[in-house]
Chain A
Amino acid sequence: MTDWRTAATDALAAAVADDDSRLGCLLTEAGEHLGWLLASRPPETVAALAVPVAVHRCLTGGALPSHGLLASAAATYLALDVLDDRMDGDAPAFWGDRGDPEIMVGVQLLLVTATQVVGADTVPQRAVRLTQLYRETIAVVADGQLRTGEPLTASTTPAEVESRVGARSGAMLAGFAELAAIAADGSPSDVASARAFGYELAVARQHLNDVTELVSERTTDLRNRTATMATALALQGLPIEQRESLVERLRRAATDPSDRRRLVAEDLARAIGEVCALIHLHLARARTHARLLSDHELGHDGLDRLIEFTAAPLRR
């Protein structure tokens, strides 16, 4: 079976300009970063690619998505990843020596490329449907990106955080899972299950990432006052008059490692445990939809691996 990681990097290289121009070099650099990433880390890490591959294989008995869909997912992953880094004030994963103008143009080029190629290699009617769905997905994800930028306040609720995570991460993987199911000629029921699988998995992954960052040495979310599930659950568990004080302590903890450790061990410990349970509930839903997709008896190992990749770190 063709290794999808090689297929994805080849597909992206074929989709972008192959010349020595400044823009061509930018896109080549991005593609090289993706190749390095897929070669050096578990492939499940790049869920924007791993999810559509797993869904397509499940519905077709093992066939990879078209080069167009692979290139589109790869370009979108790269564009949103570097955009995320810039919005968070982190060093970008690639294009580190490029200025903002080049990065902004590079992101535009990647997203335009992704839109152009998502429906390539398929019949015209399906190509139109894939392109339309891709545009709708990106519009929702972009709006979700802006919403996740709204800072944590004393009145931020867990339901608001869940909604923001769903609009950003959830919409992204739901969209690519749906694109793969349509490309695989899945039934309406398959398409709905694929979409739901992508959504539930994405929300679980985002919550896991956020608690991982909270207990690690990374301080991006605290520095940016990002509203995460653990902080929202902790706020909700406090009397109203104590919530502002916790928000202020979280802000200070971004620059004070000892205060950060104390917060995690004392004030946020219960909320972190509650987030872990929430992650498992989302994964239960993802498992259900994976099983519904596997009614074709074509196997769903790839879907299971994605779920296990998220569940395993939380097991004793």
Chain B
Amino acid sequence: MPVDPERRAGYDQLRERYLNDPDFRAAVAADPTGALEGVLGPLTPEETQAVADITATPRSDDELVEHIRSGGVGSW
């Protein structure tokens, strides 16, 4: 794979923690930059974009639900 092995290992760890640890998910919601840097180290431009998107995702339930309602992207 063209992505360096260290980054891949970091993403494996990130996925593992995110899918298995509710406390880590809460940490990502509260401070996405800090939580991601804690696992991956300094963020790449793509990861910085992801943090901006996570931050820009509506927080209130109603707001989020309304945004998602308009979000169909196709099945396959």
Contacts and interface: CB of A to CB of B under 8 A. Distances in A.
Given A158-B19, A233-B25, A274-B29, A209 B73 contact: yes
Contacts of A316: 56-58, 63, 67
Interface of B: 1-3, 11, 14-16, 18-20, 22, 25, 28-29, 32, 44, 46-47, 49-50, 53-54, 56-59, 61-65, 67-76
Interface in A36-73: 41, 44-48
Contact of A277 (B1, B32, B46, B73): B32
A184 B67 CA distance: 37
Interface stretch (A5-13, A113-121, A284-292): A284-292
A310 B68 CA distance: 11
A196 B19 contact: no
B41 to A, nearest CB: 14
Interface in A206-234: 208-209, 211-212, 215-216, 233
29 contacts: A46-B76, A162-B15, A162-B19, A192-B1, A193-B2, A196-B3, A205-B74, A208-B68, A208-B73, A215-B65, A215-B69, A236-B20, A272-B65, A274-B28, A277-B25, A277-B29, A280-B53, A281-B14, A284-B44, A285-B46, A287-B46, A287-B49, A289-B2, A309-B73, A311-B53, A313-B68, A313-B70, A315-B57, A316-B67
Contacts of B11: 285
Residues of B contacting A: mostly? helix
Given A208-B71, A272-B68, A313-B71, A77 B49 contact: no
